Chains A and B, each alone.
Chain A
Amino acid sequence: MTGKVFGQPIPRLEDQFLLTGTAKFIDDIEIPGMVHAAFLRSDYAHARIKKIDYSAALKRPGVIAVYTAEDFGDYWRPGPLQVPPPTAIKGSQFNARPLVPIAKDKVRFSGEPLAVVIAESRYIAEDAFDDIIVDLEPLPAVVDLEEAWENKPALVHDDLGTNMAALVKQERGNYEEARAKADVVISRKILVNRNAAAAMENRGFVVNWDEREQEMTVWATTQAPIPLRNTIAARLGLFENQVRVITPFIGGGFGPKIMTSQADDVLLPWIAMKLKRPIKWIEDRRENFLATTSERDQVHYAEIALTKDGVILGVKDVFYHNTGAYDPYGMTVPLNTQTHTISNYRVPSFYTEIRMVFTNQMVVTPVRGAGRPEGVFVMERLMDAAARELNMDPAEIRLKNLLEPNELPLRTGIIGQDFVEGVLDSGNYKANLQKLMEMVEYEKFRKEIQPALRAQGKHVGMGIVCFTEGTAVGPYEGARVTIGGNGKVSVATGISTQGQGHFTVFAQIVAEQLGVKAEDVNVVTGDTAHFHWGAGTFASRGAAVAGTAIYNAAVKVREKIFATASKWLEVPPEQIELGDGKVWVKGKPEQFITLGDLAFRANPTRGVIEPGVEPGLEATGYYGPPYGATGAGAVAMIVEIDPETMELKIKRFVIVHDCGTVINPLLLEGQVEGGVSMGIGNAFYEKMVYDENGQLLTASFMDYLMPQATDMPPKIEIGHLTTTSPLNPLGIKGVGEAGAIPTPSAFVQAVEDALFEYQLEIPESNLSPSKIFEYVQKASKKG
């Protein structure tokens, strides 16, 4: 459904500010009289707080105030849960332990705030840490997931009597019966390692309480401005309209910036009201690693049952999921794992069990992928194991088991993060894989290229995998579209933006409907003074959910244009044409009214407006999908390994994906490429490591390796297929996480294939040359 602007690869409208250093980010906000906050954080992962004495800090010049949990009195309280778990899953258990803003009595992860210092500068605030005497009694740290489940070596929340955060069992069909009928059953233990979102900009929070106006303004790097405003207002006993949350330009989100009810947004507004001074907190990189949420870290015991021809009869997966010290985000991540484990394959029987545990580690909430890479990794590992066992080609076994288009929409029988049973709405999964095989010359690679390279002693291997991406989930988003007296269009929506190009794609949607240039559409996102209903930017839902709300509003405005114009041009609406910022009578272009003029006429200062007519060329639209739209795709990756040093080069990376209607192909490719680089990072560079004391060993970029330009393949080859989603009028599915989801699965398969002679079976999602070396050593000893 490509139009004049919609569907076109137009470069972004927001770029020139970002390119010239004139875009305003959180740390660019300066307010006269502003003071700076810093959090003193615990070095221990698990400890009882005996005493914190900050009297000396108060004497240091430049220090304004210091607070610990005690100082907040009744204002200190946990939570609320940001995402309560679905109640629809029968028999599921969930122990709610929402985040506490600052540690009281007990520390539960290394990096948890113990005190907040307010000072004239960040430098002085950090100096004051030296003056604070902290007396902590260390406790054994809960680190290992399976031990944690056995309540060993300690309890993270003593009052709970267990480290179990959740237990969820879901089943479709009957796995045990399927297993009994199977020719082969393959069981594996599979690990998915932990990664950081590591947006280039750390988090930040600026708050200004205007005592005279009785109004609070908050600038935050949040992906969820409206929920943030609502919780701040509720906590302080203010009306929502006394709190304005503004998101400046944000330097990347990728998940964790959705979190609210943390030390910054709970404590700093309260302190700002007490001190009557604006406060700024800018997280540094060390804090970001220690105390911004991160994700993955699961241990799966998975099993697949098949016929001897490689037809899947059933899958079983019991997995431990690390939620960290608290579980403010409910069960979103492991539920996504459940729904994505089997998604695009025909799996008649599926048993899945979440064992979510508390540990003395940083809290886990979604990071680009959000449980999906884990599910896909487990399933693809099982498929690889099955292919090997049955002596089948990895592509062949997948083609055999992928769902056909005529099997969709398919109710999966598994309740997901959006509280409803998952439905695969549309897609052509086989076509994705077939197109991928063409692009990567699969047959030729297997039959000619690879044997020839092997004959030369080269170790080149391919991984080929499939994935789905559940996107565009509810509850809803909204938007207001207004034509101004200047003839230009303003759009306001409640989500915030972190580089996805919303200013441009939303403008494209509106421009197409209202016959104006995209440059003449001004989009405001994430400012609660402009629009204050909505949930936020997560689960690749910006374009699909907010975009559809904007579309709905734009369609209403379009109708209003025709109705108003019909009155003034004195012809029926069918005889009116809209374009180039004006309306005119068909065939009589000289009889026209500009949209600006029409906007004035729709909002008269005298005279009569007919009953039932709302003034202005303005409308508000909402959209809430019944369930998410599912994108899908397939990835092939070719790697070459130096078998002496285990150094690895990615020679080719090919991805075919289907995200429904494309609003802007240029931006879409950018999203895919960015996701792929994160996937490559997750597979081969990035790994968060906690030691047995719960200390994070990778709290800097020296140790947490980010993919660099030289780590990327020469080109990310992208193939598009489009099956439009029937769920929304534009047919959009999200795409933000596509690249990140399948990459680790493709990567390990490619490594195994490159080092074919060792018959490796790699059960974990993050590798390094040293790790590969270890697997090869083990295999050589066996062989």
Chain B
Amino acid sequence: MSKLHHVTVTVNGKQYERDVEARMLLSDFLRHELGLMGTHVGCEHGICGACTVIFDGEPVRSCLMFAVQANGHDIRTVESLGTPEKMHPLQEAFHEKHALQCGFCTPGFLMTLVSFLEKHPNPTEEEIREAIDGNICRCTGYESIIEAAKLASERMSAREN
């Protein structure tokens, strides 16, 4: 067993401490050390986007980071958005527009889009398309995801005004 490193990290507002090997990927850490299974792993080489989490306010690939690198940082995962009983407006919109089928890619899309919509409250369809370009969905063909993002942006900005 190689050396363990102490990691203190805030995830979804809650502080966790663990000792891990340096090589442990952040995606594995979130899932198997912290039990936050909502973050999914589809490729472990940075292409599919299923593992996207928000790291210090910006979406990143959790499969391309080590857990030790999260020491002292702040992470948001899909578990921070809403619960089955009370979903986030973006989750509601995904539901209504049938923007998910198998749902495996969905957490990655949600985290990418939540962050995007926070910065771009009134995006065009084209901007949404580009924003989700780094996330692969095999089931939906993307159209419904784009519609859902549009609907959510309308509702979210209406709520703010």
Contact = CB atoms under 8 A, between A and B. Distances in A.
**Is A–B contact present in the complex under a CB 8 A cutoff?**
yes
Interface of A: 11-12, 14-25, 27-28, 30, 61-62, 123, 198-202, 249-254, 284-285, 498-501, 666-667, 669-671, 673-678, 700-702, 706, 708-710, 712, 714-716, 739
Given A201-B42, A710-B129, A11 B103 contact: no
B84 A12 contact: no
B154 to A, nearest CB: 18
User: In the complex, which of the residues A15, A676, A739 has the most CB atoms of chain B within 10 Å of its own CB atom?
Assistant: A15
Interface string B69-89: 000000001110111110100
Nearest to A705: B47
Interface string B89-106: 001001110101111111
Contact of A670 (B24, B98, B132, B138): B98
Contacts of A669: 98
Given A20-B84, A252-B104, 19 more contacts: A16-B84, A19-B87, A19-B103, A21-B36, A24-B37, A25-B40, A28-B31, A123-B23, A199-B104, A251-B40, A252-B102, A253-B102, A674-B139, A677-B138, A678-B138, A700-B43, A702-B47, A708-B142, A739-B141
Given A20-B38, A28-B37, A716 B141 contact: yes
Given A21-B39, A198-B138, A499-B139, A15 B45 contact: no
Given A20-B91, A21-B107, A670-B144, A15 B79 contact: no
A411 B85 CA distance: 52
A15 B77 CA distance: 18
A251 B81 CA distance: 21
A21 B38 contact: yes
Contact of A16 (B23, B48, B87, B104): B87
Contacts of A200: 40, 42, 48, 50, 102, 104-105, 136-139
B17 interface: no
A706 B138 contact: yes
A499 B102 CA distance: 4
A701 B31 CA distance: 23
Interface of B: 1, 21, 23-24, 31-32, 35-45, 47-48, 50, 77-79, 81-85, 87, 91, 94-96, 98, 100-107, 110, 125, 129-130, 132-146
Given A20-B83, A21-B37, A15 B94 contact: yes
A285 B42 contact: yes
Contacts of B37: 21, 24-25, 27-28
A709 B147 CA distance: 12
Contacts of A30: 32, 35
A617 to B, nearest CB: 28
Nearest to A504: B98
Given A20-B84, A701-B48, A202 B101 contact: no
Contact of B106 (A19, A714, A739): A19
B133 A708 contact: yes
B34 to A, nearest CB: 12
Nearest to A251: B104
B47 A18 contact: no
A199 B138 CA distance: 6
A39 to B, nearest CB: 16
A501 B101 CA distance: 7
Chain A binding surface SS class: loop
Contacts, number: 181
A451 B94 CA distance: 41
Chain B binding surface SS class: loop
15 contacts: A14-B103, A15-B94, A16-B85, A16-B95, A18-B100, A18-B103, A19-B100, A62-B1, A123-B24, A200-B105, A252-B102, A285-B44, A670-B144, A677-B140, A701-B43
B21 A123 contact: yes
Contacts of A20: 38, 78-79, 81-84, 87, 91
**Nearest 5 A/B pairs, CB to CB:** A21-B38, A251-B104, A499-B102, A18-B103, A673-B141
A708 B145 CA distance: 12
A709 B101 contact: no
Given A249-B103, A709-B133, A254 B141 contact: no
Contacts of A670: 98, 101, 139-141, 144
Contacts of A202: 42
B141 A677 contact: yes
Contacts of B137: 200
Nearest to B84: A16
B143 A712 contact: yes
A673 B105 contact: no
Nearest to A201: B104
B102 A199 contact: yes
B29 to A, nearest CB: 12
Contacts of A254: 138
A249 B102 contact: yes
B75 to A, nearest CB: 13
Given A667-B98, A701-B45, A709-B132, A22 B142 contact: no
B78 A21 contact: yes
Nearest to B47: A701
A284 B40 CA distance: 12
Given A123-B23, A701-B45, A21 B79 contact: yes
A649 to B, nearest CB: 13
B5 to A, nearest CB: 15
A200 B137 CA distance: 7
Given A200-B138, A702-B45, A706-B138, A673 B144 contact: yes
